[in-house]
């Protein structure tokens, strides 16, 4: 069934919101400033409830089924986190309350900083970035500020070909030129490739580890040494931290700056694309450059401190996405050391899928993976079935498709990240569906071209959408 | 642990398939010198019930409504949030979905955000709106960077009456770029003084906030004309209180090229400052230099209407370092909340609510004036305003905390020239009775 | 997609609930008393969340679309009511708390009694019955107790043919013999039919007004007089109160006892079949017979009082379905005098549908209706299309079917109750769908026989289910 | 009003179709002497926000956890409710649906209740369970009426150790029927004394509760044998704390013909006593004399499994006055909550939780005994027990309220013979620390 657009519904004068009683007189307003008010539709409460109930039913979420979207870590978003975020004391708190009236929030932020420092091995932490990409930007700002403080202005940053697109974009936003580094035949960085490019005009390197092929960068220590020797810094993109909690101490292996995506590793809701949170963890040496205000503990009192003269400044109006931080805090307190178990199960699940599916799908790098594995459509291409067809067909089996055509270094990539939340039964069902699709590719390629059959709409014309953009109604 | 499904038996079966002897062996391919040897030093896991107790206890220390009357806005506003918004947002199809990369099974998110874009355009009188930015502050920074991309000029001007924290974020974003940010002064009436604009040379963009940080409604229409005296310069209008546009002339109607600001007022809890919602809209001609995600309407194979992410060629996963911004998500759930809120309010409701906010604030302003506490500024204001208090008010302010009243924001740290001033805010959540109580205390 | 039954999922030892920490020693238990514990499946939290999320998606509720189930008053269930019911002070309150710690709940019940008394015009109220049917039972107990107190034991109760099946069942449970009364040609009771049957062995009459044809019983005063003259009592089944708030004072027109269904008239959630609440309102004369404990106001204090020697006793372990009462209270406070507007709109909506559809469907009683209207399949029968087919086809249009084959006095009844919550646009869509179905009955009867096409399952074999009942897995 | 959608224009258009001049005219067919002339005397409508304030304020007067430690059970138990239950129940497809009359679009409710029936059968060791009754009390009344239908006898016996309020409800249901209810005495150990049973003549049914009102675990196995000495007599077991059956032998295993009781403990808030959940199960052979709704499995036209309401021929809308009961709904949402709760607990969890409840209660019992306060009864108990306190404890009890402790239920109003006794309860929500605090206070 269709659901009309909001403005195709309603009737002028209808009410959907309970307006508080008027208890003061109307104040005059200069005509030159007054407008007509926006042309919003007037709906009843039930109109609004039904509209969004129906829209929601066309969406697939983690609660709807397995969502193996590689590099997005679509783990279970615990319901208790929502309960905590809605406690009136937190949900209703003004950010500029005096310290005496915000100790709970400050303590939470202070302790969360400590936990994230412990998990990454990089003890100085800012919670301010509103998302991973803003965390990257903050990291690049720190790179720039660090070199500036040394009296240098370096112009380049090394970025491997397996990086997320945000890495070069974040570097560019910060005025750096992104210099590509090719990964080696095993899908990981070779120290010699880095040594060749690293120079004293290069601010450092951005590495995703495990990388976007789901592989651990074995040469990370050597790479870090090369970069450090030339006075550069090592940025670790923590998007894939879900593979490594309690497994790797990133501070120890030479990473200087690292952001985390709390909506990935720390289970905060994905929300159809946000809000996320992208805390940045750094070495003690880089501590002075973190954004302000900083949350510090002063005796028994928690305080916000602005006085860090080397700080890069502010990236958020207030302190970042507090209620997302709060959810991550709840998650960490709920698991404690079991976070390591989460990483272990995540890796177990990915390897299990890899082993079970490699007879059906081409596995470009056949070696133990971390939390995700990357296949390609090479075998299916012979039957004119592409990654896109496989992805769409999965919808008909009740699964969200994996990430496709990423990383770019692999042609026709199918990037599967199950996360630790999925049980063996669910994995087996997914493996079974993928197996059926592989058979169907042989027997009935057109069935795959015609998929999906069951969702609300079928394949959409994205080209037309971009050619003649219709962005509002 | 209830989030970790594997039983010992499951693990053994799976390890066998994988060919590993135990869970540790899964990581044997990682070089030994990269393996963490110590355990993470984290607290014992809490049960669901211990966590509830712990969080309730921490939250109890916060000075939040309804226990406190908070007469403070300054970019974070306490508005009522309908229960339907809270419950609809908890529908897991919305809150556990990711970026709608697969449109066939994401039409809920996509139609909602398309509706969001449309309502934002209608609110601000603009042609196109994106699917949202992180918050008002970074939105303004991105808007100013956009004026530089659009004009290929190297300098922007920002009013000193723009939220001071937004200006700090702009500074941070601009610091490594080499582009220049100049500040426009505030006039005696509390509005931006544009008289020196023509002396500033070639400007990519000029940013004003309205209502500005002092609550003053800028004369955007006149400002637009002054700014557009240089035809290439883009007029950027910011805001921290979108509810004002239920009553005020829209930025689009006043000639804005880009309108951006914070949407927290629309159904999003204050949550100690985040997450917010960066509303961001522009004229049609700038659509391809806009940052952020966009949703467009299209059709499927059977000709049925549907919605997709579009114009992704501007974005970082395609254009990488040449992207219009590094932002690769939006504030999806916050934008959804705002859509629900705008839908609930309706055109009739937003007008009434907007007026009530202003009228209550005007009532406080008048009452304080009667008690001898006047504003240094004469410009009309929306739901907040600056008031000058006599010496010793800082102590009164502190004493009022004991009575569970937060009597505005002291401006000293942000505007040394206004060190005896406080920024007061009143929304629909503060009744006349509560206003009268404040005035009585202050008049003591 | 299918969702397995709970016990087809899970793995022994998996955990779905957070168990509190053990802080005391295990106490021994006699082997003779100990069992093995139930064979419940062990699931993770995500298993449980996904299971019930998926099941929910196969259900249709008021938030999914118009639910014109006649005689069930499927109005909007306001979300704020759920907020109120979950306030910890109420949700966590033990029923046997001392009065000093339960003033809020008692005040709420006391005031709700007052409001219901005002709405019905019958000022003495008990909130104890857990549902409408238990309200009826309570009413019949009051009949019995009243006559007993007069030294009589009457054996019969008059029940019109338009009554809900619960009426005779409730009377029977109370030991009364149900005596049928035929309604007249206009679909309403004739005084002469009642006069003929009413005698001094008859405890009274049970009348649904408006009746199940959606018609007001015009002769109610005369009927009441006849019954009262013979010493009987008049029971008003308040299931259809949604038509009459502020329109009729039932105390004034001769009703002695009346129950309300709070999940109908007062918007409390229907919950897939309950819990409801069935308060009973009576005349001051019958006040002493109401169940105990009673909530009374004693100065400024609210108290529970047991000391009513003529009381029928208790029908609920505690005080009835308190959290449902609380929702009804919230609803009444939210509408106040607008409850009358609700009734007006409910009647307007029903009459609008009646006028718009009477050209398509046979209307057995063509006169102004109250909150619902009853059609039949007479016209469609000629094309071998029955009420059931029409109902099932409505599902394919996104509507819940009306009540069908009830009331029994009308053959092939289609009983439509839109309620006041539905907007004109929604009514027009429904009317349009019904019109299309009427046309389809002419043009393609088999399309209707094959409906529904779109829900999860198609028509189910109810005969087989009853013949070989399989009631558990 | 936001629930009432019509605008003036809508109303006019619709009135025209209907042929009425105004809204009042819609009712013109009602005889004038039946029309209400006065306005209803009801308070002014509250806004959503006023209602929130009003309800919060009323609720604040209640003595509920976590602010109060309530050592009181007696048929209403404070157990933790997982947040998932709360959020899943708010899914409107569950909570705004009605009775699943149309199975094609009600499979969610139907499969859930089928699962509920199954889990109840497994919990109680019985063959068939219905979709639930109103509460434990009316369930017991209906069970006893069912024994009368099944045996065509006229007398039932109920233990004095059955919850006194349940017995009152039984009395009420039986009062107008002419059938007799006799009471079985309680022995010195706190269990039902069945020694006089054979003197009571032909009994349709005998009802015991286990754990009984005193928390004592009845020896159901032995009782079953004694009761079934008369082969026609049905053995009815009741309960108010189903969690006990995580640990105890099930009623079915002890020979019960009908097992019924209150399911509130399974994920349902106490809510000042209602709604509860009448769990009701029986042996297969009595299925057609059972009251209440039943869900059965079947197939659709394509052979696909589905679920439907079944055996409706027992029910009032078909059989009218010959129905097995007048009950025509179930506690749908409460049964759904209980299903979610049982599914979350699992077989392993219910055993652990059940044991923890008992062990904590045993700890309190032992601690009180050490302090000199012993139980008059020797039978083993589950999570509540009776304790005798010295003169003056009523004052101590009252004083403890000030310390936010409700130290059990005084039995005097229910059992005059135990007027110096209190019924104490401990569940998993009361920690050892809280128990120690109580003991310390009582020992003072």
Alpha-carbon distances, residue D317 vs C75, C164, C315, C389, C469 (angstroms): 23, 7, 22, 21, 19
Do residues B301 and B270 both lie within one domain? yes
Who contacts B367 (Cβ-Cβ below 8 Å, separation ≥6)?
B435, B436, B439
Chain B residue whose CA is closest to A318: B273
Phi and psi at residue A392, in whole multiples of 5°? -65, -35
What is the Cα–Cα distance from C440 to C390, expressed in whole angstroms? 10
What's the pLDDT score for residue B317?
A: 66
Do residues D410 and D281 both lie within one domain? no
Which residues of chain B approach chain C closer than 8 Å at the C-beta? 1-10, 47-50, 82-84, 86-87, 92
Confirm whether D76 is domain-assigned: yes
pLDDT over 70 for what percent of chain A? Answer: 100
Q: How many domains does chain D have?
A: 2
CA distance C329 to chain D (A): 10
D122, C39: Cβ pair inside 8 Å?
A: yes
A79, C49: Cβ pair inside 8 Å?
A: yes
The per-residue pLDDT for range A131-190, each reduced to its tens digit, is 999 999 999 999 999 999 999 999 999 999 888 888 999 999 999 999 999 999 999 999
Confirm whether A163 is domain-assigned: yes
Do residues B332 and B360 both lie within one domain? no
Chain C residue whose CA is closest to B44: C21
Do residues D105 and D87 both lie within one domain? yes
- The residue written with tokens 């809490």 in the block is B46
CA distance B142 to chain A (A): 10
Tell me the Cα Rg of chain B: 25
Out of B49, B82, B90, name the one closest to residue D87 (CB). B90
Confirm whether D224 is domain-assigned: yes
Out of B53, B80, B90, name the one closest to residue D90 (CB). B90
Determine the 3-state secondary structure of A199 from DSSP: coil
What's the pLDDT score for residue D317?
A: 66
Do residues A432 and A372 both lie within one domain? yes
Nearest by Cα to C41 from C14, C3, C2, C17 = C14
Q: What is the DSSP letter of B259?
A: E
Instruction: Give the long-range contacts of residues D430-437, CB within 8 A, separation 24 or more.
Output: D430/D69, D430/D71, D430/D360, D431/C20, D431/C23, D431/D360, D432/C23, D432/C24, D432/D360, D432/D363, D433/C23, D434/D69, D435/D360, D435/D363, D435/D364, D435/D367, D436/D367, D437/D69, D437/D405
Do residues A351 and A329 both lie within one domain? no
The strand ranges marked E within A327-456 are 373-376, 403-404, 413-416
Average pLDDT of the segment spanning A427-436? 98
A338 near D CB under 8 A:
no
Out of B53, B90, B429, name the one closest to residue D66 (CB). B53
Do residues C309 and C384 both lie within one domain? no
- In the predicted model, residues of chain C with pLDDT beneath 70 are none
Nearest by Cα to B72 from B404, B442, B426, B357 = B426
3-state helix, strand, coil in chain A (%, to 5): 40, 10, 50
What range defines the domain where residue B428 resides?
69-81+346-443
D56, B48: Cβ pair inside 8 Å?
A: no
Mean pLDDT of chain A: 96
Tell me the Cα Rg of chain A: 25
CA distance B341 to chain D (A): 14
Do residues B303 and B351 both lie within one domain? no
D101, C216: Cβ pair inside 8 Å?
A: no
Do residues B393 and B337 both lie within one domain? no
What's the pLDDT score for residue D316?
A: 66
Q: Are strands B234-239 and B258-262 parallel, antiparallel or unpaired?
A: parallel
What range defines the domain where residue A12 resides?
1-18+25-58
Confirm whether C255 is domain-assigned: yes
Within 10 Å of residue B392's Cβ, how many Cβ atoms? 8
Touching chains, B (3+ CB pairs < 8 A):
A, C, D
What is the Cα–Cα distance from D139 to A172, expressed in whole angstroms? 71
C392, D104: Cβ pair inside 8 Å?
A: yes
**Chain C CB contacts of B48 below 8 Å:** 18
- The residue written with tokens 């779109």 in the block is C454
Which of B3, B79, B91 best tests the D interface by mutation, with the highest count of D CBs <10 A? B91
What's the pLDDT score for residue C456?
A: 86
Alpha-carbon distances, residue C376 vs C274, C405, C414, D37 (angstroms): 29, 9, 5, 35
Interior CA angle at D370 toward D366 and D371, to 5°? 120
The per-residue pLDDT for range B365-381, each reduced to its tens digit, is 999 999 999 999 999 99
Look up residue A68 and give its two tokens.
Answer: 């193996």
C40 near D CB under 8 A:
yes
Confirm whether B23 is domain-assigned: no
Confirm whether A350 is domain-assigned: yes
**Chain A CB contacts of C398 below 8 Å:** 1
Do residues C148 and C290 both lie within one domain? yes
What do you get for the CA distance between the two ends of chain B, in Å? 57
Do residues D158 and D221 both lie within one domain? yes
Do residues A328 and A355 both lie within one domain? no
Who contacts D250 (Cβ-Cβ below 8 Å, separation ≥6)?
C35, C38, D123, D124, D125, D126, D259
**Chain D CB contacts of A21 below 8 Å:** 47, 50
Q: Which of B341, B358, B393 is the last residue of a domain?
A: B341
Do residues D250 and D359 both lie within one domain? no
Q: Which of D291, D311, D341 is the last residue of a domain?
A: D341
Q: What is the DSSP string of B342-383?
A: HHHHHHHHHHHHHHHHHHHHHHHHHHHHHTT---S--S-BSS
B48 near D CB under 8 A:
yes
Region for D155 from its dihedrals, namely left if φ exceeds 0, alpha if ψ lies in -120 to 50, beta otherwise: beta
CATH number of the structural domain spanning residue C172: 3.40.640.10
C272, D97: Cβ pair inside 8 Å?
A: yes
CATH number of the structural domain spanning residue A442: 3.90.1150.10
Confirm whether D23 is domain-assigned: no
3-state helix, strand, coil in chain D (%, to 5): 45, 15, 40
What's the pLDDT score for residue D295?
A: 97
What's the pLDDT score for residue C408?
A: 87
Which of A32, A173, A391 best tests the B interface by mutation, with the highest count of B CBs <10 A? A173
What is the Cα–Cα distance from A403 to A213, expressed in whole angstroms? 12
Confirm whether C82 is domain-assigned: no
Q: Which of C287, C316, C335 is the last residue of a domain?
A: C335
Do residues D120 and D245 both lie within one domain? yes
What is the Cα–Cα distance from A81 to A357, expressed in whole angstroms? 34
The per-residue pLDDT for range D138-187, each reduced to its tens digit, is 999 999 999 999 999 999 999 999 999 999 999 999 999 999 999 999 99
Do residues C349 and C296 both lie within one domain? no
A421 near B CB under 8 A:
yes
Confirm whether A473 is domain-assigned: no
pLDDT at position A35 over 80: yes
Do residues D335 and D414 both lie within one domain? no
Do residues C328 and C369 both lie within one domain? no
pLDDT over 70 for what percent of chain D? Answer: 98
CA distance B442 to chain D (A): 26
Confirm whether B62 is domain-assigned: no
Confirm whether C70 is domain-assigned: no
Q: How many domains does chain A have?
A: 3
Q: Which of D285, D308, D341 is the last residue of a domain?
A: D341
Chain B residue whose CA is closest to A5: B115
Determine the 3-state secondary structure of D440 from DSSP: helix
Do residues B168 and B282 both lie within one domain? yes
Mean pLDDT of chain D: 96
Confirm whether C382 is domain-assigned: yes
Phi and psi at residue B393, in whole multiples of 5°? -65, -30
What's the pLDDT score for residue B316?
A: 66
**Chain A CB contacts of B327 below 8 Å:** 131, 133-134
C11, A46: Cβ pair inside 8 Å?
A: no
Phi and psi at residue D119, in whole multiples of 5°? -65, -35
**Chain A CB contacts of D10 below 8 Å:** 11
**Chain C CB contacts of B87 below 8 Å:** 79, 82
Chain D residue whose CA is closest to C174: D176
Out of D5, D82, D84, name the one closest to residue A44 (CB). D5
Confirm whether D29 is domain-assigned: no
Do residues B121 and B203 both lie within one domain? yes
Do residues A119 and A255 both lie within one domain? yes
pLDDT over 90 for what percent of chain A? Answer: 96
Confirm whether A78 is domain-assigned: no
Residue A104 · residue A91 · CB < 8 Å:
no
Look up residue B133 and give its two tokens.
Answer: 């930015």
Do residues A416 and A293 both lie within one domain? no
C169, D321: Cβ pair inside 8 Å?
A: yes
**Chain B CB contacts of D56 below 8 Å:** 66
- In the predicted model, residues of chain B with pLDDT beneath 50 are none
Confirm whether B180 is domain-assigned: yes
Interface A-D: count of C-beta contacts within 8 A = 47
Confirm whether D258 is domain-assigned: yes
Do residues C278 and C245 both lie within one domain? yes
Residue A208 · residue A309 · CB < 8 Å:
no
Tell me the Cα Rg of chain D: 25
**Chain A CB contacts of D8 below 8 Å:** 13
Q: What is the pLDDT along chain D (444 residues), one digit of tens a residue?
A: 999 999 999 999 999 999 999 999 999 989 999 999 999 999 999 999 999 999 999 999 999 999 999 999 999 999 999 999 999 999 999 999 999 999 999 999 999 999 999 999 999 999 999 999 999 999 999 999 999 999 999 999 999 999 999 999 999 999 999 999 999 999 999 999 999 999 999 999 999 999 999 999 999 999 999 999 999 999 999 999 999 999 999 999 999 999 999 999 999 999 999 999 999 999 999 999 999 999 999 999 999 999 999 988 766 666 677 777 888 889 999 999 999 999 999 999 999 999 999 999 999 999 999 999 999 999 999 999 999 999 999 999 999 999 999 999 999 999 999 999 999 999 999 999 999 999 999 987
Do residues C162 and C202 both lie within one domain? yes
Do residues A218 and A279 both lie within one domain? yes
What is the Cα–Cα distance from D227 to A93, expressed in whole angstroms? 63
CATH number of the structural domain spanning residue D310: 3.40.640.10
């Amino acid at each position: 069934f269709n659901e009309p657009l909001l403005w195709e519904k309603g009737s002028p004068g209808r009410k959907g919101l309970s307006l508080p009683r008027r208890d003061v007189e109307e104040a005059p307003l200069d005509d030159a400033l007054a407008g007509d008010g926006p042309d919003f539709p007037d709906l009843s409460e039930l109109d609004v409830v039904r509209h969004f109930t129906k829209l929601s039913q066309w969406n697939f979420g983690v609660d709807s089924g397995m969502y193996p979207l590689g590099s997005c870590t679509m783990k279970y978003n615990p319901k208790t986190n929502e309960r905590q975020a809605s406690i009136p004391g937190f949900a209703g708190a003004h950010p500029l309350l005096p310290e005496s009236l915000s100790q709970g929030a400050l303590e939470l932020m202070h302790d969360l900083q400590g936990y994230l420092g412990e998990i990454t091995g990089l003890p100085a932490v800012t919670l301010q970035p509103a998302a991973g990409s803003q965390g990257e930007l903050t990291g690049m700002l720190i790179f720039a500020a660090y070199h500036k403080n040394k009296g240098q202005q370096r112009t380049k940053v090394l970025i491997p070909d397996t990086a997320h697109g945000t890495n070069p974009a974040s570097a560019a936003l910060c005025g750096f030129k992104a210099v590509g580094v090719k990964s080696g035949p095993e899908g990981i960085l070779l120290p010699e490739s880095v040594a060749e490019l690293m120079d004293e005009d290069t601010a450092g390197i951005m590495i995703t580890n495990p990388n976007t092929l789901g592989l651990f960068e074995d040469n990370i220590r050597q790479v870090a040494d090369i970069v450090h020797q030339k006075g550069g810094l090592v940025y670790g993109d923590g998007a894939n931290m879900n593979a490594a909690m309690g497994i790797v101490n990133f501070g120890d292996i030479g990473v200087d700056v690292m952001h985390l995506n709390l909506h990935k590793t720390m289970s905060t809701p994905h929300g159809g694309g946000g809000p996320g949170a992208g805390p940045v963890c750094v070495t003690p040496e880089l501590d002075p450059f973190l954004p302000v205000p900083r949350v510090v503990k002063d005796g028994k009192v928690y305080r916000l401190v602005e006085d860090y003269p080397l700080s890069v400044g502010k990236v958020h109006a207030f302190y970042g996405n507090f209620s997302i931080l709060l959810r991550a805090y709840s998650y960490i307190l709920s698991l404690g050391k079991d976070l390591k178990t989460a990483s272990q199960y995540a890796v177990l699940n990915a390897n299990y899928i890899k082993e079970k599916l490699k007879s059906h799908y081409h596995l470009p790098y056949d070696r133990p993976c971390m939390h995700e594995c990357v296949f390609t459509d090479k075998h299916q291409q012979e039957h004119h079935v592409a990654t896109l067809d496989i992805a769409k067909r999965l919808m008909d089996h009740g699964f969200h498709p994996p990430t496709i055509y990423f990383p770019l270094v692999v042609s026709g990539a199918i990037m599967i990240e199950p996360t630790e939340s999925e049980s063996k039964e669910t994995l087996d069902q997914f493996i079974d569906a993928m197996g059926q699709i592989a058979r169907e590719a042989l027997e009935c390629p057109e069935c795959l071209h015609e998929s999906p059959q069951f969702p609300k709409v079928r394949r959409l014309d994205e080209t037309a959408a971009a050619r003649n953009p219709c962005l509002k109604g | 642990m209830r989030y970790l499904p594997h039983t010992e038996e499951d693990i053994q079966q799976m390890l066998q398939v994988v060919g590993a002897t135990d869970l540790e062996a899964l990581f044997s391919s990682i070089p030994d010198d990269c393996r963490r040897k110590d355990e993470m030093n984290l607290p014992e896991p809490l049960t669901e019930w211990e966590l509830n107790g712990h969080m309730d206890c921490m939250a109890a220390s916060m000075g939040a409504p309804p226990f406190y009357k908070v007469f403070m806005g300054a970019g974070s506003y306490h508005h009522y949030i309908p229960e339907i918004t809270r419950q609809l947002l908890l529908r897991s199809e919305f809150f556990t979905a990711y970026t709608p990369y697969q449109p066939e099974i994401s039409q809920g998110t996509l139609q909602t955000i398309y509706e969001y874009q449309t309502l934002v355009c209608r609110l601000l009188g603009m042609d196109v709106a994106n699917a949202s930015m992180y918050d008002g502050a970074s939105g303004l920074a991105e808007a100013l960077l956009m004026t530089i991309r659009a004009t290929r000029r190297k300098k922007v001007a920002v009013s000193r009456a723009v939220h001071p924290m937004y200006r700090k974020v702009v500074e941070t974003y601009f610091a490594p770029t080499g582009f220049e940010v100049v500040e426009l002064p505030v006039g005696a009436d509390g509005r931006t003084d544009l008289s020196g604009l023509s002396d500033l040379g070639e400007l990519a963009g000029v940013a004003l906030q309205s209502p500005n940080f002092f609550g003053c409604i800028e004369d955007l229409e006149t400002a637009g004309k002054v700014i557009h005296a240089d035809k290439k310069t883009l007029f950027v209008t910011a805001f921290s209180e979108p509810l004002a546009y239920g009553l005020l002339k829209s930025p689009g109607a006043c000639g804005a090229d880009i309108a951006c600001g914070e949407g927290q007022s629309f159904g999003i809890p204050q949550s100690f400052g985040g997450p917010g919602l960066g509303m961001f809209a522009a004229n049609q001609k700038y659509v391809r230099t806009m940052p952020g995600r966009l949703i467009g309407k299209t059709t499927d194979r059977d000709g049925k209407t549907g919605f997709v992410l579009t114009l992704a060629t501007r974005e970082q996963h395609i254009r990488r370092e040449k992207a219009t911004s590094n932002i690769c998500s939006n504030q999806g759930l916050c934008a959804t909340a705002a859509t629900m809120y705008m839908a609930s309010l309706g055109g009739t409701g937003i007008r009434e609510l907007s007026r009530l906010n202003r009228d209550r604030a005007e009532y406080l302003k008048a009452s304080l004036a009667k008690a001898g506490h006047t504003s240094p500024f004469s410009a009309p204001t929306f739901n907040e305003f600056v008031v000058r208090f006599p010496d010793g008010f800082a102590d009164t302010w502190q004493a009022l905390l004991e009575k569970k009243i937060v009597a505005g924001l002291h401006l000293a740290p942000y505007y040394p020239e206004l060190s005896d001033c406080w920024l007061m805010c009143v929304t629909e959540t503060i009744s006349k009775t509560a206003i009268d109580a404040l005035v009585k205390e202050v008049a003591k």
